[in-house]
Amino acid sequence: MQLSTYALQKIGFEKLEEDEKIEATFCGMYVYAVSGVTFDAGETFSFAFSSEGVSIRFAFGNDLNEMSKKLNDDVMVDDLPKWEEEKKCRPPYLAVLFGPTALHSAEGCYYKRYEGILSTYESFFAAKEDLQRMASEALPKLLTALTCQLSSARPLVSFKQIEYMVFGETNKGERLIDIRFVGNMSASVSTSIDEVDLNAAVDEASNLETELDAKVTRFFSLGMAEDDPLKAFLYYFLALEVAVSKGFKAIDLKSEMDLLVGYEPRLEASLRPFFEDRLIKTKRTPVKYTLRDKFVWCAKVLWRDTTDDDVLEFMAVKGIRDKISHGEISAPTRDDVERVRKLVQHILLQHHRSA
Q: What is the pLDDT of residue 81?
A: 92
**What are the two backbone dihedrals, phi and then psi, of residue 198, each rounded to the nearest 5 degrees?**
-65, -45
pTM of the model: 0.74
Q: Which of 24-28, 36-40, 333-337 has the lowest mean pLDDT?
A: 36-40
State CA 277 to chain mean position distance.
41
Is the C-alpha dihedral spanning 274, 278, 282, 283 positive or negative? Answer: positive
Helices (H) and strands (E) in the chain, counts: 12, 12
Cβ pair 315, 292 in contact under 8 A: yes
Residue 110 banded pLDDT, cuts 50, 70, 90: confident
Q: What is the pLDDT of residue 184?
A: 41
The tens digit of pLDDT for each residue in 56-78 reads 899 999 999 999 999 988 888 88
In DSSP notation, 301-354 reads HT-TT--HHHHHHHHHHHHHHHHHHTTS-SS--HHHHHHHHHHHHHHHHHHHHH
Q: What is the pLDDT of residue 185?
A: 38
Q: State how far the Cα of 31 lies from the Cα of 80, in Å rounded to an integer.
A: 13
Residue 172 has pLDDT above 80, yes or no: yes
Report the candidate in 77, 61, 57, 64 with the shortest Cα–Cα distance to residue 177.
77
Question: Strand 175-181 relative to strand 110-114: parallel, antiparallel, unpaired?
Answer: unpaired
Residue 282 has pLDDT above 70, yes or no: no
Look over the chain and give the mean of its residue pLDDT values, rounded to a whole number.
83
Residue 241 has pLDDT above 90, yes or no: yes
Residue 112 banded pLDDT, cuts 50, 70, 90: confident
Amino acid symbol at 39: F
Residue 315 has pLDDT above 70, yes or no: yes
Q: What is the pLDDT of residue 16?
A: 79
CA distances in angstroms from 162 to 32, 34, 140, 171, 187, listed in the order given:
6, 10, 16, 30, 14
Residue 30 has pLDDT above 90, yes or no: yes
Q: State how far the Cα of 228 lies from the Cα of 225, in Å rounded to an integer.
A: 9
- Distance, first Cα to last Cα, the chain: 49
Q: State how far the Cα of 102 lies from the Cα of 39, in Å rounded to an integer.
A: 35
Question: Strand 158-170 relative to strand 21-35: parallel, antiparallel, unpaired?
Answer: antiparallel
Residue 312 has pLDDT above 90, yes or no: yes
Q: What is the pLDDT of residue 66?
A: 93
Question: Strand 104-107 relative to strand 14-15: parallel, antiparallel, unpaired?
Answer: unpaired
How many other CB atoms are found less than 10 A from the CB of residue 277? 13
Residue 79 has pLDDT above 70, yes or no: yes
**What are the two backbone dihedrals, phi and then psi, of residue 30, each rounded to the nearest 5 degrees?**
-100, 130
Q: What is the pLDDT of residue 78?
A: 85
Q: What is the pLDDT of residue 180?
A: 37
Question: Strand 54-61 relative to strand 104-107: parallel, antiparallel, unpaired?
Answer: unpaired
**pLDDT above 70 coverage of the chain, percent:** 81
Q: What is the pLDDT of residue 188?
A: 47
**What are the two backbone dihedrals, phi and then psi, of residue 25, each rounded to the nearest 5 degrees?**
-105, 155
Q: What is the pLDDT of residue 181?
A: 31
Angle between helices 268-279 and 253-261 (to 10 degrees): 130
Three-state secondary structure call for residue 198: helix
The tens digit of pLDDT for each residue in 136-166 reads 878 999 999 999 998 876 668 889 999 988 8
Q: Which of 14-28, 164-178, 223-237, 254-268 has the lowest mean pLDDT?
A: 254-268
Residue 351 banded pLDDT, cuts 50, 70, 90: low
Mean pLDDT value of segment 98-123: 83
Q: State how far the Cα of 350 lies from the Cα of 10, in Å rounded to an integer.
A: 59
Q: What is the pLDDT of residue 232?
A: 94
